[in-house]
């Protein structure tokens, strides 16, 4: 059973984060220190500076050659199963959407292993192996799952942006799995040879018309043309004004391309955005460095290491500060409402651990390692997904509720899990 000393150790890691969150909440709600734009600026700093350096710190200090791959496999399989279930739900249910798939994936799989996991599981199972396993799990989240989350966010943004740009450039989405494209950046280029051919045929027709008039013996072909134009003008004048307006408003026919072209355009946009996102390339750089460092025992220079440490230490505190700012900007402390809080609680503390039990047995985990795997799945919501959700404006209220409310109730819930797992798993 967890001792009072270990319980105090857990609280000493969690309570300071709530102090930061309450200060941020008060600075907006009552003290009126920050404007909405400044609140967004704080979140952007965390998303583009603090979070990338936090990932660099943990990835570069983790030995990739000494990881428990069976433990990682159980966690990875759990996330793959959740993705598969959400994919089926999105395809088969009318309520399914990419936004909800992203949010539910975050709620069910991404846990707070750094702040809550390490001190809590150290108190329950000892520093070895729980601390090492929690660090490894954090590293995998930074290397694989946070970039996957960013990919989904960017893909959603691109799917919304491409139709919008298409409308601005006379591009619209068809219902027959086609994209109608007119003039604009994404339009299909018309070959200049086709234009030249059309012009040549038009000139040839005009020439033939002139020859026909000459062969008929018309003495004034230009006069005939003027007379014809006058007749057409009279016909247009006789058309009802409403009909003319309707003809003017009627959309012009547009060229079509398969939907695959739009998908390629979206993927190109997503890849370009990811390549410029510090959260993506910082993980890649840190992983490459860790492979080199632990293979040939190369130490990072002290100047670089201290620079990384300063910014990474600000990561969690600033993330909680941004959370408090967001909560203060909402009409209610529980931003998503009671239903959202219930959904977040169920996904975080029931669905996630339940799937982890099955995947852990599949990969062959038993004993203490199985208990630790299930316990980490019952930890509260990770903070970084909220930062991303706020940045991309995808259900940030639900994620803020999951973080703030989840950290409050996580301690009694994890204690119940700890007692039950100790009785069931030997």
Average pLDDT over residues 205-212: 47
Residue-level pLDDT at 166: 57
Judge contact between 130 and 372, C-beta under 8 A: yes
* Domains in the chain with CATH codes: 4-80+107-144+280-424 (1.20.1530)
Please determine, for residue 221, whether its predicted confidence score (pLDDT) is greater than 60.
no
Q: Per residue in 255-289, pLDDT tens?
A: 545 667 888 888 999 999 999 999 999 999 999 99
What is residue 167's predicted lDDT score, i.e. its pLDDT?
A: 53
Region 13-20 average pLDDT = 89
The confidence score (pLDDT) of residue 109 equals: 95
Choice among 10-19, 182-191, 220-229, 364-373 with the minimum mean pLDDT: 182-191
Which range has the top average pLDDT, 64-78, 188-202, 215-229? 64-78
Mean pLDDT, residues 357-383: 93
Q: Strand, helix or coil at 301?
A: coil
The per-residue pLDDT for range 103-135, each reduced to its tens digit, is 999 999 999 998 888 888 888 888 888 888 999
Distance CA 47, CA 396 (A): 14
Q: What is the structure's pLDDT at 263?
A: 84
Q: Are 72 and 365 in contact (CB under 8 A)?
A: no
Distance from CA of residue 121 to its chain's centroid?
A: 29
pLDDT more than 70, % of the chain: 77
Query: Residue 333: its pLDDT value, please?
Result: 76
What is the per-residue DSSP string for 361-424? HHHT--HHHHHHHHHHHTS-B-SHHHHHHHHHTSSHHHHHHHHHHHHHHHHHHHHHHHHHHHHH
Q: Please, which pLDDT band fits residue 338 given cuts at 50, 70 and 90?
A: confident
Estimate to the nearest angstrom the gap between the alpha carbon of 423 and the chain centroid. Answer: 39
| pLDDT on residue 348 | 93
Q: What is the pLDDT of residue 425?
A: 85
- CA 72, 74, 80, 83 torsion-angle sign: negative
pLDDT of residue 426 exceeding 70 = yes
Instruction: Tell me the C-alpha distance between 1 and 30, whole Å.
Output: 42
Q: What pLDDT does residue 125 have?
A: 87
Strand order from edge to edge, sheet including 255-258:
172-173, 178-181, 255-258
Concatenated DSSP letters for 126-166?
-HHHHHHHHHHHHHHIIIIIHHHHHHHHHHHHHHHHHHHHH
At residue 239 the predicted structure's pLDDT band, cuts being 50, 70 and 90, is very low
- If one compares 411 and 395, the residue with the highest pLDDT of the two is 395
What pLDDT is attached to residue 174?
38
Q: Which helix (H) or strand (E) holds 172?
A: strand 172-173
Q: How far apart are CA 274 and CA 255, in angstroms?
A: 31
Residue owning tokens 């975080």 = 348
State both tokens at 79.
């996330």
Mean pLDDT score of the chain, rounded to an integer? 80
Q: Which residue has the tokens 């959370």?
A: 323
Q: What is the CA radius of gyration of the chain?
A: 31
Distance CA 9, CA 24 (A): 24
Q: What is the enclosing helix (H) or strand (E) of 78?
A: helix 69-92
CB-based contact 66:59 (threshold 8 Å): no
pTM, full prediction = 0.77
Section 401-426 average pLDDT = 88
Residues 169-179 have a mean pLDDT of: 39
Average confidence (pLDDT) over 29-43: 93
Given a cut of 80, is residue 224 above it in pLDDT? no
**pLDDT mean over 44-68:** 92
């Amino acid at each position: 059973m967890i001792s009072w000393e270990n319980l105090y150790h857990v609280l000493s890691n969690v309570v300071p984060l709530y102090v930061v969150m309450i200060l941020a909440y008060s600075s907006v709600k009552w003290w009126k220190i920050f404007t909405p734009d400044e609140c967004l600026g704080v979140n952007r700093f965390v998303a583009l500076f603090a979070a990338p350096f936090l990932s660099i710190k943990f990835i570069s200090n983790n030995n990739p050659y000494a990881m428990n791959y069976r433990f990682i496999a159980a966690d990875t399989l759990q996330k793959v199963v959740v993705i598969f279930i959400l994919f089926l739900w999105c395809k088969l249910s009318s309520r399914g959407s990419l936004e909800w798939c992203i949010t539910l994936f975050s709620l069910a799989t991404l846990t707070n292993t750094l702040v809550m996991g390490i001190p809590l599981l150290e108190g329950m199972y000892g520093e070895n192996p729980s601390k090492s396993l929690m660090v490894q799990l954090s590293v995998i989240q930074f290397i694989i799952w946070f970039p996957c989350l960013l990919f989904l966010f960017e893909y959603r943004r691109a799917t919304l942006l491409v139709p919008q740009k298409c409308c601005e450039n006379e591009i619209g989405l068809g219902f027959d799995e086609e994209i109608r494209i007119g003039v604009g950046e994404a339009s299909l280029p018309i070959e200049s040879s086709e234009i030249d051919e059309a012009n040549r045929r038009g000139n040839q027709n005009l020439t033939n018309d002139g020859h026909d008039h000459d062969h008929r013996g018309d003495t004034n072909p230009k006069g005939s043309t003027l007379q014809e134009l006058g007749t057409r003008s009279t016909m247009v004048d006789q058309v009802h004004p409403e009909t003319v307006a309707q003809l003017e408003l009627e959309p012009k026919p547009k060229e079509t391309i398969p939907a695959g072209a739009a998908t390629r355009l979206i993927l190109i946009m997503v890849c370009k955005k990811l390549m410029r996102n510090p959260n993506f390339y910082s993980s890649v750089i840190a992983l490459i460095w860790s492979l080199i460092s632990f293979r040939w025992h190369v130490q990072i220079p002290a100047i670089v290491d201290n620079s990384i440490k300063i910014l990474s230490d600000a990561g969690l505190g600033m993330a909680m500060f941004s959370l408090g700012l967001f909560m203060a900007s909402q009409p209610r402390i529980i931003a998503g409402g009671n239903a959202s809080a219930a959904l977040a609680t169920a996904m975080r503390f029931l669905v996630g651990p339940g799937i982890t039990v099955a995947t852990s047995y599949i990969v062959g985990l038993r004993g203490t390692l199985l208990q630790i795997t299930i316990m980490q799945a019952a930890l509260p919501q990770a903070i970084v997904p909220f930062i991303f959700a706020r940045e991309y404006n995808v259900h940030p209220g639900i994620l803020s509720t999951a973080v703030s409310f989840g950290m409050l109730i996580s301690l009694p819930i994890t204690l119940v899990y700890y007692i039950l797992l100790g009785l069931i798993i030997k």
